[in-house]
Structure 1
Amino acid sequence: MTKKPKTLEEWQAQLTPEQFYVCRLQGTEHPFSGKYFKVPANPGVYHCVACDSPLFETSTQFEAGCGWPSFYQPIRPNAVEEREDLSHHMHRVEVVCSQCQSHLGHVFPDGPPPTGLRYCINSVALNFVESKKV
């Protein structure tokens, strides 16, 4: 059974106005304004705020100084999709959730090893789930 994509109206009813602006209208939050731009003290996984798919682990998060949560790789290769973005008179690579196609942020080639990538992601597009202690 194929899932029917949600309409913009359905997304707007599900998400907060800020989440809708970023995730469905390809907006961005102001740098240093999101709750996840600093690496948390406890390990965990960041999930898509729109569909709850796991996207990034704290073990791959780093302090980039850019004002947004930054990761050097997604939790698995097919967790996100990358698309060419020519908006705002720039050439960038957009990052979207592979499950619901929500806009997450952009990826840049100036990250740390081992990938050399910086997935610069909007906090408002994420939900952090702390790992349970065993």
Structure 2
Amino acid sequence: MSIPLDSPALALRAALHAALVADAALLALLGGPRIHDVPPAEADFPFVALGEAVVADWSTATEAGTEHALTLHVFSRSGGRAEAYAVAEAVAHALHDAPLALAGHRLANLRATTAEVRRESDGRTFHALVRFRAVTEPL
């Protein structure tokens, strides 16, 4: 199965990235626009990575729609969980109920649902998972 270029998932991902790189409070915490679709091998910490998306049909009998379950990742090495929590909160704040403009689609809603912070197996990296639910409709 191939993903069409006018995919609501791709349009939403592009809008999420644009909103995050435009958020001054988030950029201040990150030390710059460290928001990646695919993080570079030697990424500077902290950073945000756009992660997994589960996309499902959300159509009704009369209207087309798509539901998106999204995960954004925050990685920190700042000696404890505080930085990871702060960046995760800034990501949630930047996107929760944000009126994003999507190419070819309309965002019906975008809600932050959960966040968790865990220590990675290297013992020094903290990894926050910030989850969202979105619904899009075609224009």
- Same fold flag (TM > 0.5): no
Larger Rg: 2
More helix by share: 2
- TM-score normalised to structure 2 length: 0.29
- TM-score normalised to structure 1 length: 0.29
More strand by share: 2
